[in-house]
């Protein structure tokens, strides 16, 4: 079974469409949250993702943009975008976002061979926690319910692995070309893995291309993708919507 793993689309329809057009066939779609917030196409993204997602874990922006929790911890840019999003969401999409389950979740693996996995937005121990370093990864690697957990939230593609006293930070090796690239990593049994597919709609790892991953359950390997998309079109939409300029500028910087 091939599972497409998407995270942090952030209302960027151009990036989402490019990813869906480039990753080939998949059997299930696992979504790690933050579908909305920052970008200018919240309704379009929800309506595109909703019918094709097998499982969606809510993100902190989904929660705040749907009015479930306070914006107090958001910086002024994120807050402006969250207010704009809350205003623009249709009642139906708002209701759907409000009902998204909190992670961690274990997807049903009907008939699929290979390891069981967990899905979370931030850490499997805390949906709001950023796993940016091995120090952040240590406790989740010890305590997560399955050997493999997919996480998002940081907008940094890669992850962490650990077996006994042997641990590694995973950063996909790309040439940094302007076209699409992929990089495949085997996840050997008995090794614990936190895998971050990166952000579809607002990468922050200094690569502007949309990020995604495909997990092959039978081979137990993950393929990371970087996919170019029409950044100027997404930026124009952000500016036309009256969202903060920084939210447009950062898309071409990838940070």
> Which residues sit at the interface with Zn ion, rule CB under 5 A?
8, 34
Which residues of the chain form beta strands (DSSP E)? 2-6, 28-31, 55-56, 117-119, 148-150, 158-163, 166-170, 181-186, 192-196, 210-216, 221-227
Rounded distance between C-alpha atoms, residue 41 and residue 43, angstroms: 6
Q: How far is the CB of 237 from Zn ion (least distance, A)?
A: 18
| Nearest to Zn ion of 127, 181 (CB atom) | 127
The token pair that represents 55 in the structure block: 């499982």
| Nearest to Zn ion of 13, 187 (CB atom) | 13
Q: How far is the CB of 178 from Zn ion (least distance, A)?
A: 25
Q: How far is the CB of 141 from Zn ion (least distance, A)?
A: 22
As beta bridge partners, residue 254 has none
Cβ-Cβ contacts under 8 Å for 93 (sequence gap 6 or more):
42, 43, 46, 47
| Nearest to Zn ion of 152, 192 (CB atom) | 152
Q: How far is the CB of 62 from Zn ion (least distance, A)?
A: 9
């Amino acid at each position: 079974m091939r599972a497409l793993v998407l995270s942090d689309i952030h209302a960027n329809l151009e990036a989402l469409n490019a990813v869906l057009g480039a990753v080939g066939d998949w059997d299930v779609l696992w979504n790690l949250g933050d579908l909305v917030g920052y970008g200018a196409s919240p309704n379009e993204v929800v309506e595109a993702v909703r019918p094709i997602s097998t499982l969606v874990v809510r993100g902190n922006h989904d929660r705040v943009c749907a009015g479930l929790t306070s914006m107090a911890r958001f910086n002024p840019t994120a807050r402006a975008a969250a207010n704009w999003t809350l205003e623009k969401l249709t009642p139906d999409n708002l209701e759907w976002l409000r009902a998204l389950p909190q992670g961690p979740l274990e997807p049903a693996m009907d008939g699929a061979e290979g390891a069981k996995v967990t899905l979370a937005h931030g850490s499997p121990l805390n949906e709001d926690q950023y796993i940016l370093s091995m120090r952040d990864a240590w406790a989740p690697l010890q305590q997560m319910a399955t050997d493999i957990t997919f996480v998002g939230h940081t907008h940094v593609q890669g992850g962490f692995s650990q077996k006994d006293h042997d641990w590694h930070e995973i950063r996909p090796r790309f040439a940094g070309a302007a076209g699409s690239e992929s990089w495949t990593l085997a996840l050997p049994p008995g090794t614990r893995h936190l895998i971050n597919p990166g952000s579809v709609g607002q990468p922050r790892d200094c690569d502007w291309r949309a990020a995604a991953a495909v997990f092959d359950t039978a081979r137990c390997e993950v393929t990371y993708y970087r996919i170019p998309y029409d950044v100027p079109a997404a930026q124009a939409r952000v500016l036309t919507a009256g969202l903060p300029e920084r939210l447009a500028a950062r898309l071409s910087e990838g940070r």
